[in-house]
Amino acid sequence: MDAATLTDRSTAERVLVIGSPPPGGRDLDLLARPGAERELAGALAEGGFNNHGGELWVRLANESVEIVELIPAASLRLDDEQLERLFAEAEPIDGYRTLRRPAPHHRLLLTARLVAAAAQIDAKRRRAAEEPDEQAWRTARELAPSWGAEEALAELREGLRGEPPRSWRLRSAHARVERYRSGAVIAFSGLDGSGKSTQVERLTATLNALGYPTVAIWTSLAAHPSLARVAAPVRALLGQRRHPEGVEELWPPAGEDEDRLTLMRERSPLLQLAWTTFVATMNAWWQARAVRSHVLRGRIVVCDRYTLDSLVHLRYRYGAERRYRLQLAIIRALSPRPLRAYLLDVSPLTARARNREYTPAQIELRARLYREEHTGLGVRRLDGERAREELAEEIALEVWSALRAERDQARPPPARALLTLARPWRH
């Protein structure tokens, strides 16, 4: 049952749809009085919607995202007479019993308040303000004093004419800070064939649907082009143009590679240390470069491979008996710390069935290294053999909850100070 039908059947009281009415609107913004609010909250919970505090309810299913914002009517700060009039004059919506749309003059007042708080008119609110006729505007002006919206309604009219009021300037800065979101990194690690790419794709789509600007990035310790360029001159001296196995990530583990340059490096502890440190530094630099610019712009970066994969590759390729503390410290120091990190753990047999680029013994070794290292790096292990839809829903809900919890703490001190100082001029 879709969100609109579910909420329509959950209460006998009128509930107002703020914004685009169903079925056209992607999200459902509902204004409800206390009794209806309690009934709707119970119905949404029973219907599979999740709420982590606040007004937002989210349901993830079948690779789709449904969002319901349940707004208490008391948040409008209207007296009893105006609140009763708002619900009594609401217009019916075809096909629904209790869901109603505010009357045109009330839509103008609601839009004026929202525009005043944001200090800008986006396309959606412009359409909402241009739809009502002049009679609705006259009624809205009559009611504006009772709503405390006289100034907001006048500013809305100016804004529609292309003349943004000067008073919007400070409030616009305040609104941008209030909407501030720090970027974050979400990391997926695991064997080839563990389902990382699928989960990265689904989480990216879900977070974008929830209003978080999100990008997906693939990072790999072994794939940095500098590694091949640095090794090329030495290989030329040895008469060997490139490693016989091609991509380094698919090379044999330490002790099993008969490549001459590899054997030379493995015989020299100093050369081995220098090379692994260089590899780790290039990885950290590349990882930081790929991620940090997005994070600074407030985006969520979902990484297919991250620090855990880098450490596993170091141990796999250059010696599983060593822990590479120096190299790991370099990678962790330069790479942004992930808000959440996941190891999609699958059995070697499953990984082998999905991806045959490694031998069974190599997969066994890599699986062991992932299981040994994930706890120390704060990476949560998940059963990658569970149903992909079920796993995607669990991850998305956990990440969404973490992002909501992080939002207020992420504001820098100057931004928090601006919010405090500018509050008297907000309305």
Confidence class for position 228, pLDDT limits 50, 70, 90? low
Q: What is the pTM of this model?
A: 0.74
Among residues 176, 190, 186, the alpha carbon closest in space to that of 208 is found at 186
Other CB atoms within 10 A of residue 194 CB: 25
pLDDT at 136: 94
Q: Is the pLDDT of residue 178 over 60?
A: no
Q: At what angle do helices 325-334 and 307-318 cross, to 10 degrees?
A: 150
Place of tokens 């004059």: 89
Mind listing the pLDDT tens digit for each residue in 263-301? 777 788 898 898 889 888 888 888 888 898 898 888 999
Lowest pLDDT segment from 77-81, 132-136, 197-201, 404-408 = 404-408
Q: Determine what percent of the chain is predicted with pLDDT higher than 70.
A: 81
Mind listing the pLDDT tens digit for each residue in 101-154? 999 999 999 999 988 877 777 788 888 888 889 999 999 999 999 999 999 899
Provide the CA 175 distance to its chain's centre, in angstroms: 21
For the chain, where do the domains classified as CATH 3.40.50.300 start and end? 184-410
Lowest pLDDT segment from 11-25, 44-58, 114-128, 347-361 = 114-128
Lowest pLDDT segment from 13-17, 246-250, 401-405 = 246-250
| Amino acid making up residue 57 | W
| Amino acid making up residue 397 | L
The third-level CATH classification (topology) of the domain covering 184-410 is Rossmann fold (3.40.50)
